[in-house]
Amino acid sequence: MAFVKRPMAGVDQILHAIVQQGADEVRFVSEQAPLVFARGSPRRFTMSPTPEAVLRQLLSQVLTAERVAELERTGRVTFEYQAGAVGRFGVVLGRGPSGLEATFVAGGSVPARANDAPTPGAAPAAAFPAAPSPVPAPGPAFERHAASESGAEGARAERTPLGVTAELVTLVERAVAARASDVHLADGEPPYLRVDGQLQRAAAAAGLDPYLVLEARARAETLGGRALDLALELPNHERLRVSVYRTQTGLAAALRILPRSAPELDELNLPLALDDLASIPHGLVLFAGATGSGKSTTMAALCRRALERRSVLLVTLEDPIEFALPSSPRSLARQRQVGRDVPDFTTGLRDALRSDPDVIMVGELRDAETIRLALTAAETGHLVFASLHSGSAAGALERVVDAYPSDQRPQIRTQLADALRAVVVQRLLPRARGAGRVPALEVLRVTHAVANNVREGKTAQIGSLLQGGSRDGMLSLERSLADLVRAGTITLESARASANELDSLAMYLTK
């Protein structure tokens, strides 16, 4: 890798000044004063706005003809720059509504390119193409907000490898107004919104670059096949869970719009009361469903209810943190994000067992070791809420057991039969009339008969126990769907598409 090495002058002096202040990033924008950040947190830096002519002169050390030519071709150019004795910086050049823009990040490694070495005597070109204007967003503020809401001291400021543009803010505002749950972006395609489970094309600029700006290293890693997953807070305080990934035609991104706080349980319009689950002294409660079915929302509402009604220490393990759960005068919430506060769910669960929790919420049971620790926590006096992907209560139980080798499954069935208290399976279906979606539930309560079937591996009999367990607070999915159809809330077609057993659905509809 060749670096540009010149005597300290111009931009090097500014880079030296910000490093001396403990900062690691500076953003120059034509007609504006530079913005300076330390690990994503803004730092005070006094400097007059820089007209474009002044900014070009300031950046003359890095504006070689080769880089300007690449900027004209692609709209954006990234490279590494050695600022004398100050250190190495990753550099991103582009052009926004105000004119030329440049971001320098200390230690920011980018892929080696042939044009990184300057041509002696090269002069910068006069014209630059239009490029998106990054909104100054100093890191994932949502993560800092969630940490402070959960009682963590000294909320962490972290620099994100993903920048956002004014166009993205406008698009997300439009999505929120349309009640969309997700926004989908891709190179060469217009954005799409997911509204009430259906994809709708949005009338806005096509492509990924008008909305998201990846740092050089993140772009290289994503193009290399490694997805980028993180949480962001926009300048308008909307919060997003973002996944950027490579496809056959280029980069794509899925943006989940996150609510600002956990809802009240009563706001969810569930067909069966689940309040008592927040009062269980110990045991395991599983929440199952497909991605986007609302299981995380229901878990968060129950955690909020436990914090409000009991005196508990709640520890959550999430990827990422989706709802802020505030502490109360009687309760404490400790929210931990996988990949930021803890490396993985397994390590987080081990840590949680040593932190004196009363309630533990696990965002997803992904492997056998995480399942084992969740069962251990439930057996040793903790209430554990955990989610997994399954379409039925019986399927959720089988998924837990099947995570283990065959010789260990009898022991796991015994542990599960002893620790399990309930399984809640959730669907979200479009309303037959009007906008929005409505939940349908399957609720399995662990009675003596259910525990025996789990212990003996007779999960095929769970369905008949659900159908006859209404007095114990059970509800089959087909019964829930039939009730919604008879009330005119959902269509028969939606019910059939969501049912696990069409014969059972038909039976309930004729009663």
- List 384's β-bridge partners, or say none: 284, 360
**What pLDDT does 97 receive?**
65
Q: Order of strands, edge to edge, in the sheet holding 41-43?
A: 41-43, 35-38, 25-29, 99-106, 87-96, 77-83
Mean pLDDT within 368-388: 96
| Closest residue by Cα to residue 179 from 361, 436, 434 | 436
- Can you give the C-alpha Rg of the chain in angstroms? 27
Q: Residue 194 in 3-state DSSP?
A: strand
**Tally of domains within the chain:** 3
Helix axes 393-402, 409-419, angle to 10 degrees: 140
Q: Is a pLDDT exceeding 60 seen at residue 298?
A: yes
Q: Are 309 and 424 in a shared domain?
A: yes
CA terminus-to-terminus distance, the chain? 75
pLDDT at 98: 66
- Arithmetic mean of pLDDT over the chain: 83
Sign of CA dihedral 153, 154, 159, 163: positive
SS3 for 209? coil
Q: What's the average model confidence in pLDDT over 415-435?
A: 94
Domain with residue 169: its CATH number is 3.30.450.90
CATH of the domain at 395: 3.40.50.300
Q: 238 and 302: one domain?
A: no
**Amino acid residing at 96:** G
Residue 130 lies in a domain: no
Domain coverage including residue 63: 11-112
Portion of the chain with pLDDT greater than 70, in percent: 86
Q: Is the pLDDT of residue 123 over 60?
A: no
For the cut 70, the answer to whether the pLDDT of residue 348 exceeds it is yes
Q: The tokens 């399957």 sit on which residue?
A: 442
Q: Are residues 314 and 207 in the same domain?
A: no
* Position 183 confidence tier, pLDDT thresholds 50, 70, 90: very high
Query: Which range, 34-43, 119-128, 242-251, 271-280, has the best average confidence (pLDDT)?
Result: 271-280
Kindly state whether residues 370 and 284 are assigned to the same domain: yes
pLDDT computed for residue 118 by the predictor: 35
Please state, in angstroms and rounded to a whole number, the distance separating the CA atoms of residues 340 and 352.
16
Query: Is 71's pLDDT higher than 50?
Result: yes
In this structure, what token pair is assigned to residue 230?
A: 């993180």
The pLDDT value recorded for residue 234 is: 84
131 falls within a domain: no
According to DSSP, the residues that pair with 257 across neighbouring strands are 240
Question: Domain check: are 231 and 271 in the same one?
Answer: no
Instruction: Note whether 177 and 29 are same-domain residues.
Output: no
Residues 252 and 271 in one domain: no
| Higher pLDDT pick, 258 / 310 | 310
Nearest to 293 by CA among 127, 460, 450, 425: 425
CA distance 170 to 165: 9
- Cα three-residue angle 401-466-378, rounded to 5 degrees: 45
The CA distance from 32 to 47, in Å, is: 9
Identify the pLDDT of residue 199: 94
Does one domain contain both 239 and 330? no
pLDDT at 279 over 90: yes
One domain for residues 254 and 269: no
SS (H, E, C) 444-485: EECCHHHHHHHHHCCHHHHHHHHHCCHHHCCECHHHHHHHHH
Q: Which of 112, 131, 160 is the last residue of a domain?
A: 112
339 Ramachandran zone, left/alpha/beta (phi>0; psi -120 to 50): left
Q: Among 110-114, 267-271, 420-424, where is mean pLDDT lowest?
A: 110-114
Residue 375, domain member (yes or no): yes
Question: Could you tell me if 340 and 472 lie in one domain?
Answer: yes
pLDDT of 1 higher than 50? no
99: left (phi over 0), alpha (psi -120 to 50) or beta: left
Average pLDDT over residues 89-102: 80
Please report whether residue 125 resides in a domain.
Answer: no
Listed residues 226, 258, 290: the one ending a domain: 258
- Residue 122 covered by a domain: no
**Greater model confidence, 335 or 101:** 335
450-502 per-position pLDDT tens digit = 999 999 999 999 999 999 999 999 999 999 999 999 999 999 999 999 999 99
3-class secondary structure, 87: strand
- 312 part of a folded domain: yes
**Residue 215 in domain:** yes
Please tell me whether residues 83 and 170 are part of one structural domain: no
- Predicted confidence (pLDDT) at residue 194 exceeds the cutoff of 50: yes
Flag whether pLDDT at 119 surpasses 70. Answer: no
Residue 120 placed within a domain: no
User: Which tens digits make up the pLDDT trace of 131-153?
Assistant: 333 333 333 322 223 333 333 33
Residue whose pair of structure tokens reads 């899925």 in the numeric block: 254
For 326, the token pair is 């505030």
Q: Among 258, 281, 316, where does a domain finish?
A: 258
Tell me, yes or no, whether 498 and 401 share the same domain: yes
Confidence check: pLDDT of 6 > 50: no
